[in-house]
Structure 1
Amino acid sequence: MRAVFLTELGEIEVELDDKRAPATVKNFLRYVKAKAYDGGTFYRTVTTEPDNQPDKTIKINVIQGGAREGFKAFPPIALERTSKTGLKHKDGVLSMARDTPDSATEAIFICVGDQPELDFGGKRNPDGQGFAAFGKVVRGMEVVKKIHKSHADGQALTPKIAIKKVVQKP
């Protein structure tokens, strides 16, 4: 199953792994069905060149986005750890953003390059639990890279990159 992010810079098509990360895919699709991402944005770029994470010893490269302003998030979901799913944060992988374990709601990120420190046991997050990978970009990685290199004030994309809508494909 697939979904397409229609952004102001082009389309990003992702293949969702509902076999290995069923709860995370189900969570993402409930936001898609609720049209939460329609009018949302990619609002964050985390880069190593230039380095916009001076306070971090473990550096990553990702773009992050989410639902439109004012959308009331559904309750958080349990973290599907990469140690259980077997999915890894490789180039183009789609994952759920979170603060603490079991706190993910609607925010997503896409890896630019391999990011093993985001997997279970990785050191980017002090708790070592990693993030819930649940899909991968199959078309539009050039759009992801364009967003990643867009102008930012620190990690905040300025301006934010509009997500016109996200649609599910069979």
Structure 2
Amino acid sequence: MSVLLETSVGDVVIDLYTKEAPTTCLNFLKLCKVKYYNFCCFHNVQRDFMMQTGDPTATGLGGESIFGILDRTSTNSSKKYLPTEIHPKLKHREKGTVSMAIAGASTGANQEVNSVLGSTAGSGVIGSQFFITMADNLDYLDGRYTVFGKIAEGMEVLEKINGAYTDSDFRPFKDIRIKHTIVLDDPFPDPEGLEVPDESPLPTQAMLDTVRIGDDEEIESLLPPEEEERIRRQKEAQARALTLEMVGDLPFAEIKPPENVLFVAQLNPATRSEDLELIFSRFGLILSCEVIRDKKTGDSLCYAFIEFEKEEECSEAYFKMNNVLVDDRRIHVDFSQSVSKLHKDWMVKKVGAKRGGAEDLNLEQRSRPPPRKGF
């Protein structure tokens, strides 16, 4: 017995424990059948713990059972909610376990867990909200929350949700929503009065009011692409430099290679320094270009460093040459900050070579002619 959830980041299939938790599964299946979950967002995403959804109000306080929906005029709360359905064999042992969140009072769970999963004071009851675990062996949830299913397909989709950026209340800044629910197998007869819509209904205005950053909206930066790339490289270089400092490869993290040097990798072994010089000289004056070779064998190590006179010429070469085919190889171009250790070794060998002391690498160094126009 299964349900397919189509979310804004991919599809997930839930297999249900219809024998162990029949009332809970009936409630969930019929809610899916009447499209109650359509447009519900994941309003509580706690990384490597769990993700919660099923509340049309996106507050963690809404949602009701299928029986409450069928009898809107009833003031009997027992129709709006269902009692928890705990089976001794169903545990929160594995990542991808699906359980109902509690709506109602204390079930004996500790305050922290109640707060996380939506429990308030009173006897434990369930409505429409459910959560999916993203960790193994959450045994402190056993006996308190109704396990009724497990993820059969789509764990990679859950990992995307798990990695979402959230605010202090654990709601993702950019909405992640259930788009559609498809009941793949339903063993239960429909309750009296259940009306299945012919097509998915449009979200109500109240649901539209819950939108923050729509799941279909692109978050556009106000910065130009070049500035974004510069900031990205700067942050990446700082992080790698700190790592090198911690392992002892740099005396202090602020040391960094110059920004006018490109690192070119995945070269064809047949590619020579003069080949790279000819190709890259279209972007500006090249001060040096070295294909790194093994000292003993003379074989190319398939990477090189290219030093430009100006940083802006170096940046232009980076943007236009990355992933370009050179000698039937799609080269990778990056700034030397991203390979600080290799750049440091290159500089040491370069200086050593000028003094006659290079031992491991042979650097092909050539004088560079003026850049050629119209390559």
Shorter-chain TM band: 0.7 to 0.9
> For each residue in 1:132-156, what CA deviation from the matched residue of structure 2 results, as whole angstroms up to 9, or x when unmatched?
0000000001111110110100211
Q: Which residue of 2 aligns with 1:16?
A: 16
Indicate if the aligned counterparts of 1:95 and 1:135 stay in contact, CA closer than 8 A.
Answer: yes
Indicate if the aligned counterparts of 2:40 and 2:56 stay in contact, CA closer than 8 A.
Answer: yes
Query: How far apart are residue 101 of structure 1 and its match?
Result: 4.1
TM-score after normalising by structure 1: 0.80
2:182 alignment partner, SS class: strand
Report whether the alignment pairs 1:68 with 2:82.
no
Query: How far apart are residue 22 of structure 1 and its match?
Result: 0.5
Q: Which residue of 1 aligns with 2:152?
A: 138
Cα distance in structure 1, aligned partners of 2:26 and 2:83: 12
Q: Which residue of 2 aligns with 1:77?
A: 82
2:176 alignment partner, SS class: strand
Report which stretch shifted further, 64-73 or 88-97.
64-73
Cα distance in structure 2, aligned partners of 1:131 and 1:25: 14
Query: How far apart are residue 168 of structure 1 and its match?
Result: 0.6
Q: Which residue of 2 aligns with 1:163?
A: 178
Coordinate RMSD, CA, aligned: 1.8
Gaps of 5+ in 1: 49-60, 121-129
Indicate if the aligned counterparts of 2:101 and 2:131 stay in contact, CA closer than 8 A.
Answer: yes
Report whether the alignment pairs 1:37 with 2:37.
yes
> For each residue in 1:36-94, what CA deviation from the matched residue of structure 2 results, as whole angstroms up to 9, or x when unmatched?
1011111111236xxxxxxxxxxxx00001143498623111111243xx111121111
Q: Which residue of 2 aligns with 1:103?
A: 125
Indicate if the aligned counterparts of 1:82 and 1:119 stay in contact, CA closer than 8 A.
Answer: no
Q: Which has the higher strand share?
A: 1
Cα distance in structure 1, aligned partners of 2:47 and 2:27: 27
When residues 72 and 78 of structure 1 are mapped into structure 2, their CA distance, relative to the original with a 3 A threshold, is: closer
Bigger radius of gyration among the two: 2
Cα distance in structure 1, aligned partners of 2:13 and 2:63: 25
Indicate if the aligned counterparts of 1:39 and 1:67 stay in contact, CA closer than 8 A.
Answer: no
Q: Which residue of 2 aligns with 1:117?
A: 140
Gaps of 5+ in 2: 69-79, 103-118, 186-375
Aligned positions, number: 147
> For each residue in 1:102-158, what CA deviation from the matched residue of structure 2 results, as whole angstroms up to 9, or x when unmatched?
3210101001122211112xxxxxxxxx10000000000111111011010021121
Cα distance in structure 2, aligned partners of 1:72 and 1:112: 23
1:158 alignment partner, SS class: coil
Report which stretch shifted further, 7-16 or 24-33.
24-33
When residues 105 and 140 of structure 1 are mapped into structure 2, their CA distance, relative to the original with a 3 A threshold, is: same
1:159 alignment partner, SS class: coil
Cα distance in structure 1, aligned partners of 2:63 and 2:12: 24
Cα distance in structure 2, aligned partners of 1:112 and 1:69: 24
Q: Which residue of 1 aligns with 2:208?
A: none
Q: Which has the higher helix share?
A: 2
TM-score after normalising by structure 2: 0.37
